[in-house]
Structure 1
Amino acid sequence: MADLLERMVDQQGQDHGNSTGNPGHNSGNHEGVDRALEWFQKFAPPKFIGGPNPDLTEGWMDRMMDIFAALRYTEERQISFAVFQFEGAARAWWNVIKAKWEREQTPWTWVNFTRKFNEKYLPSIVQEKWEDDFIRLRQGASSVAEYETQFTKLSRFTPDLVLTEQKQIRRFVQGLNVEIQEALAAAQLDTFSQALEKAQRFEAARGQVKVFHDRKRKQPNSGNLAA
């Protein structure tokens, strides 16, 4: 699986520069779209038929996001391939939304798609709960990686709160432990990945310092025992 993923990511990197515009409407890029769709389907993405069960809806969206995180597709291609998995009532709903987007020239962004998807398939009370959970999310005793995983999961269902990358960075940093926030205060953070990387580096360095001091405190005791 690791080898397959590596090959898929490498291939996507080669094809990425050839992908422009809406993949669902770009007739001059059929070969690239077909190949990208083939890579996508190798992950066995689940179908989605809609319905009132928020757990199934959340699980489907989580799986889509995991796949797209690995393949690094453009937002337009993510939407095209996500709705490719729609069946039945979900397909009929999307046809209506797609026609409306075309009439109103709505940008094919993941935020716009997620907003419409949540409005249709997630009850407002569930959306409000996830929004509250996201606002209250703090790192606490978790590692930076564990905190980032939960942050990313909840942000998928609250796209308006991370509408821009700077908003996403700001909310992510605000939820980190104070000592990490202070370490990042003077850092230039242009992307979310930069914020995550710097936070993890500080966490790792702090852990190394702690190990060093722990060993240093134990040394005198060890010397006394040997004497």
Structure 2
Amino acid sequence: MINQCVTAALATRDANTNGVDSHNLGTGARRNERATRECTYPNFMKCQPLNFQGTEGVVKLTQWIEKMEIVFRISNYSMENQIKFSTCTILGNALTWWNSHVRTIGNDIAYAMTWTELKKKITDKYCLRTEIKKIKVELWELKVKGTDVIGYNQCFQELALLYGRMFPEESDKIKKYVGGLPYMIHGSVVASKPKTVQEATEMAIEVMDKRICTFADGQTENKRKPDNNQQPQQHHQNKRQNIGRAYAIGTI
């Protein structure tokens, strides 16, 4: 009797344990299913990829590629939908080019290509050599205008991204960036010995802000000081005017 009771208790325990394990496994499976659920096109578009029409130039094409790769990372897309989803953001002239390409090689081959292959094709089509050359010249001649370091930083980063092969090493990029800074902050940024362009840009902004604040404080202080050089002159002028008026009255 005791053995039967023990056996029944163990059986009940094992059943409960298996039930819990099954529940946990089931939950785990459901969690995995949610984590690996295929991204639908509406969900892909909710990640707000950019559109590209083929007329915006190299900068917009680069931004389209960068944004698309960000969307790929945050959306749980499947590889077979990568080209389908990304080409749906192509509009205008670029869409005409893509449709012509699809008709030439066929749907199966076109949509079986990789993202790397698509990037190369669209870059070869819309990144003209003449435009790349202009970017190179613009980057080489880029300098800070006045005290607008923030504007300089943005232009430099965009151009450096478009023509990255100009800088084989990070140190080359830093050297070019620092070379475009005005004399008033150039020495301070160099002295900070930045290891990355990001560090150099942050230091440039900080130093320029300090220079501007110092100049503004100096201007305010000068306005507060009395002009001792003009006061005596004004006093003598007033005195001469008063004497002149008195003389005129006396002669009437």
Q: What range describes the TM-score normalised by the shorter chain of this pair? A: 0.5 to 0.7
Q: Which has the larger radius of gyration?
A: 2
**Change over 3 Å in CA distance of 1:185–1:86 after alignment to 2:** same
What SS does the corresponding residue of 1:149 show, helix, strand or coil? helix
Which residue is equivalent to 2:113?
A: 95
Which residue is equivalent to 2:87?
A: 86
What SS does the corresponding residue of 1:95 show, helix, strand or coil? coil
Aligned 8 A contact 2:58 2:131 in 1: no
Q: CA deviation at 1:146?
A: 0.7
What SS does the corresponding residue of 2:87 show, helix, strand or coil? coil
Q: CA deviation at 1:213?
A: 0.7
Which residue is equivalent to 2:92?
A: none
Aligned 8 A contact 1:144 1:199 in 2: yes
* Residue deviations 1:135-169 (CA, integer Å, cap 9, x gap): 11111225111101111122222111133322222
Aligned 8 A contact 1:45 1:64 in 2: no
Aligned 8 A contact 1:118 1:127 in 2: no
How far apart, CA to CA, are the structure 2 residues paired with 1:178 and 1:68? 39
**Change over 3 Å in CA distance of 1:64–1:116 after alignment to 2:** closer
Q: Which amino acid aligns with 1:45?
A: P
Q: Which amino acid aligns with 1:220?
A: K
How far apart, CA to CA, are the structure 1 residues paired with 2:150 and 2:164? 21
**Change over 3 Å in CA distance of 1:135–1:201 after alignment to 2:** same
**Change over 3 Å in CA distance of 1:145–1:155 after alignment to 2:** same
Which residue is equivalent to 2:48?
A: 44
Give unmatched runs, 5+ long, in structure 2.
1-31, 74-81, 89-97, 103-108, 232-252
Q: Which amino acid aligns with 1:140?
A: K
2:188 is the counterpart of 1:183: yes
Give unmatched runs, 5+ long, in structure 1.
1-27, 74-81, 100-112
Which residue is equivalent to 1:219?
A: 224
Aligned 8 A contact 2:144 2:152 in 1: yes
Matching residue within 206, 214, 227 for 2:211: 206
2:174 is the counterpart of 1:156: no
Q: CA deviation at 1:31?
A: 3.9
* Residue deviations 1:98-117 (CA, integer Å, cap 9, x gap): 47xxxxxxxxxxxxx7x876
Q: Share of identical aligned residues, percent?
A: 17
Tell me the number of residue pairs that the alignment of Structure 1 and Structure 2 aligns. 173
**Change over 3 Å in CA distance of 1:201–1:57 after alignment to 2:** closer
RMSD value, Cα: 4.3
Q: CA deviation at 1:42?
A: 4.0
* Residue deviations 1:66-100 (CA, integer Å, cap 9, x gap): 7879x9x7xxxxxxxx976235349949937847x
Q: CA deviation at 1:61?
A: 2.4
**Change over 3 Å in CA distance of 1:177–1:92 after alignment to 2:** farther
Which residue is equivalent to 2:179?
A: 174
**Change over 3 Å in CA distance of 1:39–1:176 after alignment to 2:** farther
